[in-house]
Amino acid sequence: MHISYQVQAGDFSNAGNVSSNIKKILKQLNFHPSLIKRIIIALYEAEVNVVAHSYGGEVVCNIAPDTVIIVVTDTGPGIPDLSLAMTEGWSTATAEVREMGFGAGMGLANIRKNADELTIDTGANQPTSITMHFSVSTEVKNEP
C-alpha cells in the first residue's frame, strides 16, 4: 500500500507528525515492534532534515508484507558533501535550529544505522532524495 505526506520547511512545531501517522499505520498492520521502532527513528530523522535544511518536501511510504520502502524527497538546496554530512556530530544547522533541540548532527548517521538499505541522491543546488529500505526478515520473529 502507498501513502504520501507533505512536509513543510521550517515547521519545527509539526516535525514528527508524519512519523507519528506512519507509526500508527504500521502498528495496525502487526509489524514487529522493533521493526516499527527502526522505521520511525529513521523516518523522524529524515523528516526533521526536510524541515530544518530544505525548501520543503514529501514522504512517500510503500508498505508490502516483506518490505517497507520510504522515499523522502525535498526540493533542494541539496547536500554538497555527502560523506561529511554522514559524519556523526557534523551539522550545518543554524544556532536557532539547535536551540530548538534539533541539529545535533546525528540525522543521516542515525538513518544509516536503522535502515537495512539506504540510497541518497543529492548534490549542491539539487533536490535530495533519500530512499530507505526496511526488511521484515531482519527482525527476530520472537516476541519482544
Sites of contact with another protein (CB under 8 A): 1, 16, 19-20, 23, 25, 27-31, 33-34, 36-37, 40-41, 44, 63-65, 136, 143-144
Q: Which is nearer to another protein, 71 or 136 (CB)?
A: 136
Residue 84 CB, nearest approach to another protein (Å): 25
Residue 49 CB, nearest approach to another protein (Å): 15
Residue 108 CB, nearest approach to another protein (Å): 17
Give alpha helix (H) positions in 29-117: 33-53, 82-85, 95-99, 107-114
Q: Long-range pairs for 107-113 at CB < 8 Å and ≥24 separation?
A: 107/45, 107/46, 107/48, 107/49, 108/45, 108/49, 110/41, 110/42, 110/45, 111/42, 111/45, 111/46, 112/86
> What are the beta bridge partners of residue 38?
none
Q: Which is nearer to another protein, 31 or 128 (CB)?
A: 31
Q: Which is nearer to another protein, 52 or 63 (CB)?
A: 63
